[in-house]
Amino acid sequence: MAKVAQPAPRLEWDTPLYQQARTQLEHALELSDVRELTATRLRHPERALILMLPVEMDDGSYGSFPAYRVQHSSVLGPTKGGIRYDEAVDLGECAALAMWMTWKCALLRLPYGGAKGGVRCNPRELSTTELARVTRRLTAELAPFIGPELDIPAPDMATNEQTMAWMMDTYSMQMGYAVPEIVTGKPVSIGGSLFRHEATGAGVVMVIERACERLGWELAAQACAVQGFGNVGGIASSELHDKGARVIAVSDLSGGVYARDGLDIPTLHAYVAEHGSLEGYTKDVVRITNEELLELDCDILVLAAREDQVTGENAGRLRCRLVAEGANGPTSVEGDRILAERGIPVLPDILTNAGGVTVSYFEWVQDLGRLFWDRDEIRRRLADKMSDAFDRVWGVSQERGISLRDAALVAAIHEVSAALEARGIYP
């Protein structure tokens, strides 16, 4: 009897953000000469964990927090990716971000696959002790699925080196000895790397600088608007300012500030260090919203906040000459199409913000060897990696006549595909 075709099941991670990642992948697969078996293996994560974390709160009550960890591909090595704390965290977001991490690691030729995880919570409403309990419970639950040769977490949205220190300590207590290589992005005092904090933002500017060289622009002559003034956008703003570019606008969750002749970035950093955000800053600036920042007249727009910022609704109103994606997935598929039609190149996220995972790789290598490098050596090694990846992406784009995003995805897919073809499917 002939078998009746069954409808494809709806997968639990099949959310709009994951669909965006899949749409990008499917388009790139059409441009890539890979076997269908390979394409099938890349479309879905290898493993997806759903956890529920019971945590004692400061008042003696118990909270219960959904948590996730998605490991997309381990064909190139252990999986690697951040842990975020946010009210919007869900399985689809983690699956999409894990897939993008696979392409990012492959593009930079790091021996990693992609992973991502998070806890659905409002970290601003939790005390430091509550955050510590959430983190330690998460680590204990993840312990069978993470490890220096299996899956290596890192900081992400609303997590930091203290979060990683708690994770490293919890894992080490379970193992019975110190395991600094279990996480990256931790304090230098327990095996963290110099230049890790600055790496993502500095890498964004390294890619922008290379793009300006290719486009025949002088970076110091460009007016830049930066959405986001945290770990990525704040560092990118400083790097642009130090290189002579005119940073005319920056923003954070509280809104943004604008000055056509350029902002005093060091003064803004000092204000944020004292007050916690840009809220209330008015000296020689015009207050603007995050939405208004995106539509400012500028040369370079740096998207360093979060996903889905440039969409089909607002892409036609952007007034920049170049978009640089410091965040993950900040441009929707429809937004991408509109920018391409308008001739505005996009420096894609899997290339532009790869500085963080690259220096995380350096940290992991240093921990494994118990041999540490100085800041100048790390910056030099990062610049070499970012330049090599940019040149390969630019070359594929020019040779094939495709966008920089498509070129980056094609280059990354070829790296993963070569490994899949060589290893085969077991058993």
- Residues tagged active-site: 116
Place of tokens 């990683």: 164
Of the candidates 184, 197, 202, 171, the residue with the CA atom closest to the CA atom of residue 383: 202
Place of tokens 């940290």: 363
Residue 104 backbone phi and psi in degrees, to 5 = -60, -50
The contacts of residue 166 (CB under 8 Å, 6+ apart) are 132, 135, 136, 139
Tokens, residue 335 = 């937004």
Chain-centre distance for alpha carbon 93: 12
Specify the DSSP element, H or E, that contains 17. helix 16-31
The span from the CA of 305 to the CA of 309, in Å, is 8
| Residue 5 DSSP symbol | P
b/e sequence 20-45, b meaning 16+ C-beta within 10 Å: bbbebbebbbeebebeeebbebbebb
Query: How are beta strands 62-71 and 47-56 bridged, if at all?
Result: antiparallel
The DSSP string of 338-377 is HHHHTT--EE-HHHHTTHHHHHHHHHHHHHHHT----HHH
Tokens, residue 75 = 């064909």
**Beta-ladder partners of 55:** 63
CB 256 within 8 A of CB 289: yes
The span from the CA of 249 to the CA of 12, in Å, is 39
Query: How are beta strands 286-288 and 151-155 bridged, if at all?
Result: unpaired
Tokens, residue 23 = 């749409």
Residue 269 exposed, middle or buried by CB count within 10 Å (0-12, 13-18, 19+): middle
For the chain, the straight-line distance linking the first and the last C-alpha, in angstroms and rounded, comes to 29
